[in-house]
Amino acid sequence: TTAGGAAYASVPRRFAMAYGNPQVDGAPLLQRRDDGTVRVDTGPEPQRASMVPRQWPPHVISGWIRNSWRKMLGRPPVPETWDTLHDGPDAEGKWHPAGSHRRWFLLALVVIQTALATYFMAKVLPYHGADPLEVAILVLFAVLFSWVSAGFWTAMMGFLVLAKGGDRHLISRSAASDAPIDPAARTAVIMPICNEDVTRVFAGLRATYESLERTGELQHFDFIVLSDSGNPDLRTAEHDAWMEVCRAVGGFGRIFYRWRRHRVKRKTGNVADFCRRWGSKYRYMIVLDADSVMSGDCLATLTRLMEANPGAGIIQTAPLAVGRDTLYARVQQFSTRVYGPLFTAGLHYWQLGESHY
């Protein structure tokens, strides 16, 4: 239908009857292009910025081997072209020496325990490890036992840390729970999705939004759903669900929806595209999975922790499974409640600011 057609001309009126005249970033949600066509503007105003990748510095050992080899060949060492500047006043952190000492201690515990277990394992074998087949068995046993040993010492140290009331290097001790958040500390809560259950996604988003609203800190956050869905019917359902959630909670101008036409590099590309288009508008970013639900207190606490620890790059929360239905999933949900905190505290003790994430 042409822009001047009667059916097309009635789009703004029918849209206003269904949704009123909501505003997004201070502009009408329904906007008219220069050619006269009408579009629904569901995203925030772009503020593009470049994302130049930083060269990752080599490991100490691999860098030493590479430079030694180049020295033997009579070549100069590779210049340090990576970024040597640290972000924040305490980028290395006072925890760094303690973390190195703890990991060396963990390595010693695992090696000693594995060596003893392998020794006693060899004693029960018929040839006490002298046969080639038994050597292969002992090698596999040592590898598997070291993995079990690392898990054992992680859980054990987590138990001891929780028993004494926490680690002295916990960053949560550096931020007051009621400290005001800097108005300039804008946080984007993004949810990358791709062909997901639309009802579940937006129900979780609404629960998170309403929980944050009850904390009184909603003004510091924006919610952005980043869709890579390829099914046209799903895209329509996502758009309708976004409209319904925004209308139900008054989220126009704070809850946004963006569908990416060119799906490059899947989820990581989706997040990177957001960072290039809108990342410069925010100081922090919280990434949710499609099935994630997070309390408003947790969102506000994460922002306060980042404010109190400017040298931190990523703060990883401890996820918990909820609402599982199948037997296996219920067992997994039970296990995360029982010994999940032990492993989380243990991982923090051994790794501190250099854990998995």
Same domain, 169 and 314: yes
Q: Is the pLDDT of residue 341 over 80?
A: yes
Same domain, 247 and 292: yes
State the SS3 of the chain: CCCCCHHHHCHHHHHHHHHCCCEECCEECEEECCCCCEEECCCCCCCCCCCCCCCCCCCHHHHHHHHHHHHHCCCCCCCCCCCCCCCCCCCCCCHHHHHHHHHHHHHHHHHHHHHHHHHHHHHHCCCCCCCHHHHHHHHHHHHHHHHHHHHHHHHHHHHHHHHHCCCCCCHHHHCCCCCCCCCCCCEEEEEEECCCCHHHHHHHHHHHHHHHHHHCCHHHEEEEEEECCCCHHHHHHHHHHHHHHHHHHCCCCCEEEEECCCCCCHHHHHHHHHHHHHHHHCCEEEECCCCCCCCHHHHHHHHHHHHHCCCCCCCCCCCCCCCCCCHHHHHHHHHHHHCHHHHHHHHHHHHHHHCCC
Predicted TM-score (pTM) of the model is 0.77
- Cβ distance 326 to 238 under 8 Å? no
Rounded to whole angstroms, the Cα distance separating 148 from 136 reads 19
Rounded to whole angstroms, the Cα distance separating 171 from 315 reads 10
Q: Is the pLDDT of residue 52 over 80?
A: no
Please say which residue of 286, 302, 318 terminates a domain: 302
Same domain, 195 and 238: yes
pLDDT tens, 195-243? 999 999 999 999 999 999 999 999 999 999 999 998 999 998 998 899 8
How high is the pLDDT of residue 224?
Answer: 95
pLDDT tens, 266-299? 999 999 999 999 999 999 999 999 988 999 999 9
Q: Which domain holds residue 351?
A: 98-175+309-357
Number of domains observed in the structure of the chain: 3
Rounded to whole angstroms, the Cα distance separating 335 from 8 reads 56
Q: Is the pLDDT of residue 24 over 70?
A: no
pLDDT tens, 65-95? 888 888 888 888 766 655 554 555 455 567 7
Q: Is residue 67 part of a domain?
A: no
Q: Is the pLDDT of residue 193 over 90?
A: yes
pLDDT category, 263, cuts 50, 70, 90?
A: confident
How high is the pLDDT of residue 21?
Answer: 64
Q: Is residue 190 part of a domain?
A: yes
How high is the pLDDT of residue 201?
Answer: 94
Same domain, 339 and 357: yes
Rounded to whole angstroms, the Cα distance separating 259 from 192 reads 10
| Window from 48-52, 137-141, 152-156, 224-228 with minimum mean pLDDT | 48-52
Same domain, 313 and 270: no
